[in-house]
């Protein structure tokens, strides 16, 4: 999943980026409102973390403009302004949640996770998919209670498919939401990840959890149970 | 000591001046009247001399012969108050009116000379003595003196009647002037009363500055008061902005420190984490309080309902997954006398706790404490169906002074901020249990 971070403090930006990447997110970063707005409008963002006190264009304005232009990904406001006046203003502008500075990194990650889940239509942190259980918080996958070891990228692919159930997901979309902008993308690599994921989830080939629609992309083939 | 009121000062000074002025006028008029009476009496006494001289005949031996009747009956009537005596070397005549009168000693005067004497101690008469040289038939000159006495009571009656009339007239004038003075004070002080009323309205928050039209003398005062109000407001804003920016600029570095600490680290990480939490708590409560403490006097009313709606909508978004059912019963026209951001802070913190800890229900009720008061006050009750607040935490939260130093987990920071706000607005905070077993927070700002 791809996260846009707009934060002007370089130290906090650095810490957040490394924590988000460790958690398996692709991260785009901006230190000011105008560039951040551009990234939010042009890039396939799954969630944005926006500081309210930004240079050039305030966080509130960025949120308003993004919403006005129909961008509906979840937005988490990150603010040093802990007053409710500012929180309410942020939520009214179109944000979905707020975290005030200073914060526990774990709390921020939990909020991001929850927002992502809610955006994908999952109220609970555990998603059941036939015999599979995906723990979105712990980023672990189980088959009939037994854990399946996945690499970061394999999990990212599965996670994206779970977040977009009943959709045909193209290889381009997958690579866009998994890799950062400047990464060297190759759609063949996605095919490799999907192949490996299939083998790990379904070694005997009886369930076929991920369908391939030739020339179009992939789709989760199993019914989701909440 | 309470200083003497302006009106009393002026009334006292005015009355004093009035009394002195009217008294002086009275004395002067009285003196002038007496002088006039005396001089007209003197003229009348001279005319008695001529009257007597006209009626007098002198024979060759210097004997006097007087006509029997005088034109003025007062010379004929005994004890009439007017007495005449003519004294020659050989003879003396006294007017019939002077029957039984004890004549005083007399000074001689040379012919042609007249001497007027006012009453003195032991002598109750005005006297006029006039010297005459009478040419006899042999051309020799026989000297006579004519003495006229007039009883002093004659003038006393006249002047005392005048004095009585004078004092009555002056007294009436004094009363009229005093009443006029009161009216002048009433109208003259009206602008002052208006200024006082306008200042009271500013104090109660009904207006922000003095806007009335005042007399020229009061304009500088109104201008200076307005300038003072502006300075005070800008000082408040400056202090608040300084505190705000201090609080906010502290938070980002704190976030960097905290983000670098694992939640479940070793002993040193835990103590650093605690230190960061403590600083965060201090910023949230102490700096907040410093910002609110100066805000009360100039507060204008803020309607509660729309702000409550904003907070509820915001929280329903944040806690959308919990599907909390919110019941809100607010009396119409419920207002908060204070800053909007303080009201939002109050509602935000209270409702955030309710949404966070409530399982499925949150209820808000509120209204005015005394709807008839100028400032009707405000009471709010927020209830949830969560686990409630532990007794030990309640006492810690309500204990003044302790809350900034003790870290209270759970409802802690939010309620601590609410408690600080309640203090700043002279309100009361109550913590109890709702009928569903969850937390019940009561907050009450008194009417005034």
Based on the fold, state whether residues B16 and B108 are members of the same structural domain: yes
Q: Which pLDDT score, from 0 to 100, does residue B407 have? A: 41
Based on the fold, state whether residues B302 and B290 are members of the same structural domain: no
Domain annotation covers residue B198: no
Structure confidence by residue, pLDDT tens digits, A134-160: 887 778 888 888 888 888 888 888 888
Chain B contact for A199 (CB, 8 A cutoff)? no
Structural domains in chain A, sorted by start: 2-119 (3.40.50.2300), 126-225 (1.10.10.10)
Q: Which pLDDT score, from 0 to 100, does residue B408 have? A: 42
- Kindly report the nearest CA distance between residue B185 and chain A, in angstroms: 51
Based on the fold, state whether residues B348 and B438 are members of the same structural domain: yes
Based on the fold, state whether residues B155 and B10 are members of the same structural domain: yes
Residue B295: is its pLDDT beyond 60? no
- Kindly report the nearest CA distance between residue A205 and chain B, in angstroms: 36
Domain annotation covers residue B288: yes
Question: A57-66, B98-107, B130-139 — which one is most confidently predicted on average?
Answer: A57-66
Domain annotation covers residue B167: no
Residue B393: is its pLDDT beyond 70? yes
Residue A125: is its pLDDT beyond 90? no
Structure confidence by residue, pLDDT tens digits, B430-441: 888 888 888 899
Hunting for tokens 């806690």 — which residue is that?
A: B319
- Kindly report the nearest CA distance between residue B297 and chain A, in angstroms: 21
A53, B248: Cβ pair inside 8 Å? Answer: yes
What mean pLDDT is reported for chain B? 83
Q: Which residue of A has its CA nearest to B340?
A: A85
Based on the fold, state whether residues B10 and B97 are members of the same structural domain: yes
Q: List all residues 6 or more positions away from B169 whose beta carbon is below 8 Å from its beta carbon.
A: none
Based on the fold, state whether residues B265 and B311 are members of the same structural domain: no
Strand B141-151 to B125-135 pairing: antiparallel
A100, B251: Cβ pair inside 8 Å? Answer: yes
Q: Which residue of B has its CA nearest to A19?
A: B259
Domain annotation covers residue B433: yes
Q: Average pLDDT for residues B395-423, to the nearest whole number?
A: 63
CATH of the domain at B421: 3.30.565.10
Residue B406: is its pLDDT beyond 70? no
Strand B325-330 to B361-367 pairing: parallel
pLDDT band at B292 (very low <50, low <70, confident <90, very high): low
Provide the number of structural domains found in chain B. Answer: 3
**Nearest Cβ partner of B345 from A16, A80, A83?**
A83
Structure confidence by residue, pLDDT tens digits, A202-225: 888 787 888 888 888 888 877 665
**Nearest Cβ partner of A12 from B252, B261, B349?**
B252
Distance CA A36, CA A51 (A): 10
Lowest mean pLDDT among A32-41, B107-116, B375-384: B107-116
Strand B335-337 to B301-303 pairing: antiparallel
Domain that holds residue B236: 207-294
Question: For B91-222, where are the E strands, in sequence order?
Answer: 92-94, 114-117, 125-135, 141-151
Residue A75: is its pLDDT beyond 80? yes
Based on the fold, state whether residues B146 and B270 are members of the same structural domain: no
DSSP-assigned letters across all residues of B263-320: TT--HHHHHHHHHHHHHHHHIIIIIHHHHHTT-STT--EEEHHHHHHHHHHHHHHHTG
pLDDT band at B22 (very low <50, low <70, confident <90, very high): very high
Which residues 268-327 in chain B show a CB within 8 A of chain A?
276, 280, 283-284, 310-311, 313-314, 317-318, 320-321
A80, B249: Cβ pair inside 8 Å? Answer: yes
Structure confidence by residue, pLDDT tens digits, B325-373: 898 888 888 889 888 888 998 999 899 989 988 888 899 999 988 888 7
Chain A contact for B65 (CB, 8 A cutoff)? no
Domain annotation covers residue B197: no
Based on the fold, state whether residues B320 and B422 are members of the same structural domain: yes
- Residue after which a domain boundary falls, among B250, B278, B294: B294
Structure confidence by residue, pLDDT tens digits, A173-202: 888 888 776 666 677 788 888 888 888 888
Structure confidence by residue, pLDDT tens digits, B268-279: 888 888 888 888
B259, A15: Cβ pair inside 8 Å? Answer: yes
**Nearest Cβ partner of A97 from B280, B318, B341?**
B318
Domain annotation covers residue B202: no
Q: Which pLDDT score, from 0 to 100, does residue A181 have? A: 64
Whether the complex's predicted ipTM is more than 0.85 is answered with no
Domain annotation covers residue B166: no
For residue B75, which phi and psi values (nearest 5 degrees)? -80, -20
Based on the fold, state whether residues B308 and B286 are members of the same structural domain: no
Based on the fold, state whether residues B319 and B389 are members of the same structural domain: yes
- Residue after which a domain boundary falls, among B100, B127, B159: B159
For residue A219, which phi and psi values (nearest 5 degrees)? -150, 145
Q: Which residues of B286-323 are buried (b: 16+ CB within 10 A; e: fewer)?
A: bbbbbbbeebeebbebbebeebbebbbebbbebbeebe
Residue B402: is its pLDDT beyond 70? no
Domain annotation covers residue B255: yes
Size of interface A-B (CB pairs under 8 A): 89
Higher pLDDT, B173 or B248: B173
Chain B contact for A53 (CB, 8 A cutoff)? yes
Q: Which residue of B has its CA nearest to A118?
A: B321
Based on the fold, state whether residues B315 and B402 are members of the same structural domain: yes
Distances (CA, A) of B10 to B178, B185, B186, B197: 12, 8, 12, 22
Residue B205: is its pLDDT beyond 80? no
Based on the fold, state whether residues B357 and B214 are members of the same structural domain: no
- Residue after which a domain boundary falls, among B100, B125, B159: B159
């Amino acid at each position: 999943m791809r996260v846009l971070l707009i934060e002007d403090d370089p130290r906090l930006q650095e810490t957040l980026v490394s924590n988000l990447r460790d958690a398996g997110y692709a991260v785009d970063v901006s230190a000011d409102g105008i560039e951040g707005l551009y990234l939010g409008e042009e890039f396939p963002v799954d969630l944005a973390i926006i500081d309210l006190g930004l240079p050039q264009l305030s966080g509130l304005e960025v949120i308003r403009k993004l919403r006005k232009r129909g961008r509906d990904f979840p937005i988490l406001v990150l603010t040093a302004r802990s007053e409710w006046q500012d929180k309410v203003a942020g939520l009214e502008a179109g944000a979905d949640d707020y975290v005030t500075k200073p914060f526990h990194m774990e709390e921020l990650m939990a909020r991001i996770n929850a927002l992502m889940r809610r955006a994908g239509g999952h109220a609970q942190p555990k998603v059941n998919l036939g015999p599979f259980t995906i723990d979105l918080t712990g980023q672990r996958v189980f088959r009939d209670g037994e854990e399946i070891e996945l690499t970061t990228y394999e999990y990212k692919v599965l996670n994206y498919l779970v977040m977009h159930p009943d959709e045909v997901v193209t290889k381009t979309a997958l690579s866009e939401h998994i890799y950062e902008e400047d990464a060297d993308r190759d759609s063949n690599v996605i095919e490799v990840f999907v192949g490996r994921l299939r083998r790990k989830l379904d070694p005997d080939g009886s369930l076929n959890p991920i369908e391939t629609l030739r020339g179009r992309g992939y789709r989760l083939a199993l019914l989701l149970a909440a | 000591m309470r200083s003497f009121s302006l009106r009393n000062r002026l009334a006292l000074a005015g009355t004093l001046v009035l009394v002195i002025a009217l008294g002086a006028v009275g004395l002067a008029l009285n003196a002038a009247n007496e002088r006039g009476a005396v001089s007209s009496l003197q003229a009348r006494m001279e005319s008695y001399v001529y009257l007597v001289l006209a009626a007098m005949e002198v024979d060759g031996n210097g004997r006097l012969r007087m006509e029997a009747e005088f034109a003025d009956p007062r010379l004929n009537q005994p004890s009439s108050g007017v007495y005449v005596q003519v004294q020659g070397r050989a003879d003396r005549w006294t007017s019939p009116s002077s029957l039984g009168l004890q004549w005083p000693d007399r000074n001689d005067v040379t012919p042609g000379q007249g001497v007027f004497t006012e009453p003195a101690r032991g002598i109750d008469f005005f006297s006029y003595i006039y010297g005459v040289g009478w040419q006899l038939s042999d051309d020799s000159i026989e000297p006579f003196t004519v003495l006229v006495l007039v009883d002093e009571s004659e003038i006393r009656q006249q002047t005392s009647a005048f004095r009585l009339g004078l004092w009555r007239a002056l007294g009436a004038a004094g009363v009229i002037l005093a009443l006029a003075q009161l009216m002048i004070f009433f109208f003259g002080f009206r602008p002052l009363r208006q200024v006082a009323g306008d200042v009271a309205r500013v104090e109660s928050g009904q207006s922000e500055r003095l806007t009335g039209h005042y007399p020229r003398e009061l304009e500088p005062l109104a201008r200076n008061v307005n300038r003072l109000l502006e300075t005070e407001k800008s000082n408040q804003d400056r202090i608040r902005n300084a505190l705000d920016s201090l609080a906010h600029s502290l938070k980002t570095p704190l976030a960097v420190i905290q983000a670098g600490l694992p939640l479940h680290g070793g002993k040193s990480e835990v103590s650093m984490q605690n230190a960061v939490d403590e600083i965060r708590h201090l910023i949230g409560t102490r700096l907040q309080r410093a910002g609110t403490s100066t805000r009360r006097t100039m507060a204008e009313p803020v309607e509660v309902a729309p702000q409550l709606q904003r907070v509820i909508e915001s929280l329903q978004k944040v806690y959308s997954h919990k599907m909390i059912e919110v019941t809100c019963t607010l009396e119409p026209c419920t207002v908060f006398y204070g800053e909007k951001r303080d009201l939002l802070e109050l509602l935000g913190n209270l409702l955030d706790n309710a949404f966070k800890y409530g399982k499925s229900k949150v209820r808000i009720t509120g209204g005015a404490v005394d709807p008839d008061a100028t400032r009707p006050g405000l009471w709010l009750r927020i209830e949830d169906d969560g686990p409630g607040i532990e007794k030990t935490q309640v006492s810690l939260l309500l204990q003044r002074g302790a809350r900034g130093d003790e870290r209270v987990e759970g409802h802690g920071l939010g309620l601590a901020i609410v408690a600080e706000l309640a203090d700043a607005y002279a309100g009361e905070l109550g913590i109890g249990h709702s009928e569903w077993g969850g937390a019940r927070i009561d907050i009450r700002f008194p009417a005034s």
